[in-house]
Amino acid sequence: MKAWSTAVALLLGVFHTEHAFAAADPPAAGADQKAWETAPATRRSGFTAGLMTGLSFGNVIGYPNDISKLGDPAFRSATSGLGSGGTLYIGGALTDWFTFGFGLTQSSFGSSRLVSQGGAFLFHIEAFPMFARSDALRDVALFADFGTGSATIKRRSDGRAWSSGGSLSIVGFGALWETWRLAGHVAIGPYAAWHYQDSNAMTRYFGEVGIRGAFYGGP
């Protein structure tokens, strides 16, 4: 719950900054224009879908999802290392500077002996805090993911599960840059993220770097 509370507080801070920037700009004398918050979309609007895929690296500690074995060192398993991860989502772009979506995410990382694999349903949101302030940074976004899922720690040699995370609470934060645009509707660029996943039986935390592509129905 503490991680979720911190996440919400950070996001509220981003949106407060957006409105503070807008309030700091006095309207041009004699200009008959809408505020930038309500101006017609120029970069993002309508239906949106996104795909993130990249390299993951992290650490996991777990126990069997059995109350009699939780916290017992004899049943503890842990691993760390490299792997892969990705997220697929669909949603909508409410404005040029705010989008949301619902999707699925998966991650896998570990050592040569043990591997942790996980999947989750999530709610994904993106904010472009410098959209109205800088042409150079208007396509840089901060994003957050919230959701629930499950994960395991398995032995690579035979696939035997040593730990099962049960129902994991999931939170993630990251940044992305829509570096390239194709035909005005497809944006592609790098991203970096950090994820924290936790339950009574397992704790996973890992980073991710890769490429994200998004489709926008508008403007």
Task: State pLDDT tens for residues 146-161.
Answer: 999 999 999 999 989 9
Predicted TM-score of the model (pTM):
0.80
Phi and psi at 8, nearest 5°, equal -60, -40
Residue 4 lies in a domain: no
Structure tokens at 75: 């049943």
Residue 82 lies in a domain: yes
* pLDDT at 87 exceeding the cut of 60: yes
Cα distance between residue 168 and residue 35, in whole Å: 42
Classify residue 38: in a domain, yes or no.
Answer: no
The answer to whether residue 84 scores a pLDDT higher than 80 is yes
Residue 5, in any domain of the structure: no
Q: Rounded mean pLDDT of 177-206?
A: 95
Percentage of the chain exceeding pLDDT 90: 72
Residue 208 lies in a domain: yes
Phi and psi of 105, rounded to 5°? -135, 150
d(CA 19, CA 204): 35
pLDDT attached to residue 218: 87
Domain carrying residue 168: 43-218
In this structure, is residue 65 part of a structural domain? yes
Helix (H) or strand (E) holding 79: strand 77-95
Instruction: Please name the residues in contact with 187: beta carbons below 8 A apart, sequence gap of 6 or more.
Output: 139, 178, 180, 181, 213, 214, 216
98 in a structural domain: yes
CATH number at residue 209: 2.40.160.20
| Count of structural domains, the chain | 1
**CA-based end-to-end distance of the chain:** 38
Q: Which residues contact 168 (CB under 8 A, 6 or more apart)?
A: 118, 120, 148, 149, 150, 151, 197, 198, 199, 202, 204
Span 171-196, mean pLDDT? 96
136: left (phi over 0), alpha (psi -120 to 50) or beta: alpha
68 inside domain = yes
Given this model, what pLDDT does residue 38 score?
64
7 vs 35, which has greater pLDDT? 35
